Structure 1
Amino acid sequence: MADGVENTNGARDRREQIEFGVEGTYERVVGERYYERLIGPNQWPTSDGGRLRTEVERFQRDMDDVCRRLTRFLAMGLGCDDAFDDAFARPNVQMKLCRYPPTDDSEFGVGEHSDSGFLTLLVQDDVGGLQVKNPDTGEWIDAPPIPGTVVVNLGEMIQLVTGGYLIATPHRVRNSSTQSRFSVPWFWNPCLDYRVVPIELPEDLPWCRPKPAEGSFRATASHGGDNVVHDCYGANAFKSLARSHPAVTAIHHSDLEILSSGAVVHRDPSTR
């Protein structure tokens, strides 16, 4: 994907990328499970003799192992050891190979947002540019690269399933250096048809912030408008695609309309 094609909150993102997901067969699904249109074959380059595909699939296997262990450790920390097992029976993972060109202060490599899935693991070079937002003060904090480490961001699904105990990480990228920034974000997502039922946390689990009002933790996605976080992961994922790539959505999913809330409805055929 070329630099400037993707957008966040309606503003152009300054990055180029190639994206990979779970290999599958595309089907133009209609009805409630429209989000299954996200399944399809990857577009692998053919000029390298398959080398990139081999390396990417090796990376995917390694990250799958890391994320399954990390998910189990998170569940143990919440006192709910097997709480997430069913969600990741068939994970709908994604990854990107990204390049962020140098930008001035008026542009972002990617604007403020929170990820629609469960966890995001980020491998990055030493250029820097990633910032995370303090949810209490609104302050943007630099997350400089630390050799030998991987950044872990929490996504909107873990926010829902923990009832707001864990909060999705608002973040952005601004490359103010004089050289390109390269990164590999890995999105650890549950099954597309996974529907969130908040887990019952132990009574003695301490809260680091005031406990949110019932249901208020659903309305904290940072994509603008009256956008809310949906309890079906597939709906959340399709919403993110549609908002980030409106031109692609208009061409390939012209039968669907994405409302300001993020809800998806089928258009009346007579209005297309």
Structure 2
Amino acid sequence: MTEFVLVAGAWLGAWAWDDVVPRLRAAGHGAHPLTLSGLADKQGVAAGQQTHVRDIVDEVERLDLRDVVLVGHSYSGIPVGQAAERIGDRLARVVFVDSDVPADGESFASGWWQGPAKLEAAIADNGGFWAPLTAAECDGQGLTDEQTTRLVGGATPHPGATLTEPAVLARPLDGLPATYVKCLLDGPEPADDVAVLLTGENWRLVEMDTGHWPMFSRPAELARILLEAAGDQRRAADLTAPVRGRAR
């Protein structure tokens, strides 16, 4: 039995996986959605990026999980990628869902598409938090109106320090057994750093014809990909949503 630990991206909590978790459990696996400190039901808890790394490691150790597939979406790929090397032989695989990946000494803000100063200023102007996303920011991401309302309605301010503190890696990421899920409505190709990692023998690319929040827009398809990443081809075949994938 695989134990999936699922971590959603900025502004979100464990609740974001509500449509994915039942499918994984119905397939006979453990599924453990995690809210990171300072978000959702853990608002008010002070958090930096290393706090989020510890949240993930502590959850794995608290539950004494083995054969763990860590799943990191969007921002959370950065703490998940760091946690993966810290849980040792408990780790089976990492799945990065349309996510950033950590680089030693670099922060989430370092790679921000408008430049780190722009994001840092937005955080400073909002009392040290990244303001939740708006419905307009969900346009073109394959979401129904109902899904957008649910996503935006549940979003909470994201602790700014988690976005500006640097990652700490002891080893290169290319040594991790990893699947990268690229959501094509959010851009046709992975970022340059991910593209380099995908040239290695340990990383596999899977594409989804949906937007940046597939746990809302395509939960059955995403659950199928997670089961396949864990090696459960038989149960994955029971989820009939189409998926395209290729190894690199």
Normalised TM-score (structure 2):
0.31
Q: Which has the larger radius of gyration?
A: 1
Higher helix share: 2
Normalised TM-score (structure 1):
0.29
